[in-house]
Copies of this chain bind each other. A is one copy, B any other.
Amino acid sequence: MRQLPGGVSVITVGRGEERSGLTVTSVSSLSLDPPTLIVCVYKQSSSWPLLLKHKAFGVNVLRADQQAVAERFAGRGGLRGPARFGDEPWITLATGVPLLAGALARIDCGVEETIDRHSHAIVVGRVEAVQVASFGEALVYWHGKYVSSARDAPIAQV
Contacts and interface: CB of A to CB of B under 8 A. Distances in A.
Interface of A: 1, 3-7, 9, 25-34, 36-38, 40, 61, 64-65, 67, 104-105, 113, 115, 117-120, 122, 124, 132-133, 137-140, 142-143, 145-153, 155-156, 158
Contacts of A4: 7, 9, 27, 29, 61, 105, 138
Q: Which 9 A-B pairs have the closest CB atoms?
A: A31-B118, A26-B28, A3-B105, A5-B7, A1-B29, A150-B150, A4-B7, A150-B158, A148-B158
A44 to B, nearest CB: 12
Number of copies: 2
Nearest to A24: B28
Contact of A40 (B38, B61, B64, B105): B38
Given A30-B40, A105-B3, A140-B5, A155 B148 contact: yes
A48 to B, nearest CB: 14
Nearest to A59: B4
Contacts of A115: 115, 122
A147 B149 contact: yes
A64 B65 CA distance: 23
A64 to B, nearest CB: 5
18 contacts: A3-B61, A4-B138, A5-B140, A5-B149, A6-B6, A6-B28, A26-B28, A30-B120, A30-B122, A34-B118, A36-B117, A38-B122, A67-B155, A142-B149, A143-B151, A146-B155, A147-B149, A153-B158
